Structure 1
Amino acid sequence: MIAPLLTARTDEPASVLLATLAAQGASGALSTASGIVYLAAGHVVHVESAVTPDLGDLLTHSGALAPDGWWAAIDQAGRRCRVGRQLVDSGHLAAGALELCHLGALFDAAYFVLAHDGPALRFRPGVAHWLGAVRSVPVDTVLRESRRRRELLHRIWPEPAIDVAPLARVPSDPVELPARRGRALAQVDGVRTAAQIATALACRTFHTLVELRRLAAAGLVVPADPATASAEPGPAPLPAALDEPDTALLRRLLHALEAL
């Protein structure tokens, strides 16, 4: 992998530095306390965060791709930063399916990287992610979508601790819930975070956050606390395919990017 010289730490908010790098047409990796944004020619090409499932988790846990196919692509093309291209060329994944899943993972991770718009830690010019080119996104689109998600989640339930803390159920009488929300609640065990629940359900993190904040608003879920955590494990979740209520939005974003 490429190992360029690191730039000095900066105290600029990540959103401000991203806008500057976009205007400069920069390529490289911008690190924050919550993740890394990868740029190519001033566009965002990938974002990763430790608190969201990565693209491989989404593809393999959903059944869209066998784990062996994922790791084979990394072995064969990781050093050349062409893993995405290898998945498509080998026939393991259709190009459209890869692009939609990649956009979902990118915007999920960007939400956490930009959630509090803390200071950028450093920018490493020339660093490329091993996934390689899948679909680039203008920086202003990423910033705007992250802001939209933050505002939506705040309207549902204003406490952001739900996003990152281990979660526990509040003991209550059985309540009928929509299937997706019920599956999310079944995974709440006092230990798992939203990202871990999303991984278990093979669902994008943002969609899981929406359901968990709705559960919090209904008084059914709280950040884990020994005094409130349920002592009984939840029922086994239903087998879940990749559950995407926002696929239409991603398709609109994809079409808009193609029109640029």
Structure 2
Amino acid sequence: MTAACTGETAPELLGTLAADHATGALSTESGIFYLSAGHVVHVESAYSPDLGDLLTRSGAVAPAGWWDAVERAGARHRVGRQLVDSGRLTTGALELCHLGALFDAAYFALAHDCAPLRFRPGAAHWLGAVRPVPVAAVLGESRRRRDLLHRIWPDPAVDTAPLTRVPGTGPAGLPPRRARTLTQVDGARTAAQIAAALAHRTFHTLVELRRLAAGGLVTPAPPPPATPVHAVPDADGAAWDEPDTALLRRLLDALEAL
């Protein structure tokens, strides 16, 4: 099942899949939504650290414990359950961290509405269902985040491009979290890489980076110079070209009330 730009957008197709109580994976240009019976159970995006990164970098789960759970339960789509059953993580801590990772990835996965979409019926993620989230809640939270970030600084390039500091700026006088974020801006790292380095959720990092951009302290790094293409002769002589935790707790409470 495929929907193109001329058909349904990602939010529209997610709504259709929710109404159909569909199970499977919806791929967008920048992420994948995993659904079970019409609810979102997991979201992945290359622009956001995954759950394993968040748990291991924060120290909530040892890297060896995470990979042991993946090895033992990945094929059965029960990695989340294995983390809890093995005593490495409480149910509440897993749900809270997973909810944050899901909403972070969904924000990016919905960033390009006008891209080809592909739905794979029956596809499941190896993590397994932790706490299914209604599609409407995912879409509403993504809109809220997009609107908030736009009010801080309207250029979304800050979210995905490598970032560099404006010459002559530094962390002096900044709030602690913003100062720590600025120290990670090195001309090569993206917001996702900065979030991973700080073991922070991506959205919190985006807020600080947009505030830094609004304050004139960071900007998207210029693209690297193009590598020249040299003509290389072949054997015959012819030439060819080388080729925020409090918010998440409120969301969790609201989901439990549904």
| 1:145-179, Cα deviation, whole Å (9 max, x unpaired) | 00000000000000000000000001125431111
Post-superposition offset of 1:226: 7.7
User: How many Å apart are 1:120 and its aligned residue?
Assistant: 4.6
Query: What corresponds to 1:250 in structure 2?
Result: 248
Compute the TM-score of the two structures, normalised by the length of structure 2: 0.89
Structure 1 partner of 2:42? 46
Give the alignment partner of residue 190 of structure 2, picking from 183, 188, 193. 193
Taking the TM superposition and a 5 Å limit, the aligned residue runs for 1:1-260 are 7-11=1-5, 12-174=8-170, 175-225=172-222, 246-260=244-258
2:25 aligned counterpart, secondary structure: strand
Q: Report how far residue 121 of structure 1 moved.
A: 1.8
Which residue identity lines up with residue 56 of structure 2 in the other structure? T
Give the aligned length.
236
> How far apart, CA to CA, are the structure 2 residues paired with 1:248 and 1:8?
38
8 A contact 1:115–1:146 mirrored in 2? no
2-structure distance, mates of 1:108, 1:213: 15
Tell me by how many angstroms 1:8 deviates: 3.6
- How far residue 123 of structure 1 moved from its aligned partner, in angstroms, is 0.3
Counterpart amino acid of 1:194?
A: A
Task: Give the Cα–Cα distance (whole angstroms) in 1 for the partners of residues 107 and 82 of structure 2.
Answer: 28
Instruction: Say whether the 8 Å CA contact 1:32–1:118 is kept in structure 2.
Output: no
Rounded Cα–Cα distance in structure 2 between residues aligned with 1:122 and 1:225: 33
In 2, distance between residues paired with 1:173 and 1:24? 52
Which is further off, 174-183 or 197-206?
Answer: 174-183
Which shifted more, 164-173 or 30-39?
164-173
- Distance in 2 (CA, whole Å) between partners of 1:24 and 1:9 is 16
Separation (CA, whole Å) in 2 of partners of 1:257 and 1:53: 23
Given that 1:36 and 1:47 are in contact with CA atoms closer than 8 Å, whether structure 2 keeps it comes out as yes
Classify 1:254/1:171 alpha carbon distance in 2 versus 1 (closer, same or farther; 3 Å).
same
1:253 is displaced (CA, Å) by 1.0
Q: Confirm or deny: 8 A CA contact 1:30 1:120 kept in the other structure.
A: no
Relative to the length of structure 1, the TM-score reads: 0.88
Runs of at least 5 residues in structure 2 that lack an aligned partner in the other structure: 225-243
Do 1:191 and 1:224's aligned partners in 2 also have CA atoms closer than 8 Å?
yes
Structure-1 separation of matches of 2:33 and 2:194: 23
Q: Over the residues paired in the alignment, what is the CA RMSD in angstroms?
A: 1.3
Q: Secondary structure in 2 aligned to 1:153?
A: helix
Bigger radius of gyration among the two: 2
Distance 2:197 2:251 in 1: 26
Instruction: Using the TM superposition, give the Cα deviation of residue 259 of structure 1 relative to its aligned residue in structure 2, in angstroms.
Output: 1.4
* Percent identity between the two aligned chains: 75
Does the residue aligned with 2:48 lie in a helix, a strand or coil?
A: coil
Distance in 2 separating the partners of 1:119 and 1:141: 22
Deviations 1:87-114 (A, max 9, x none): 0000000110000000000000000011
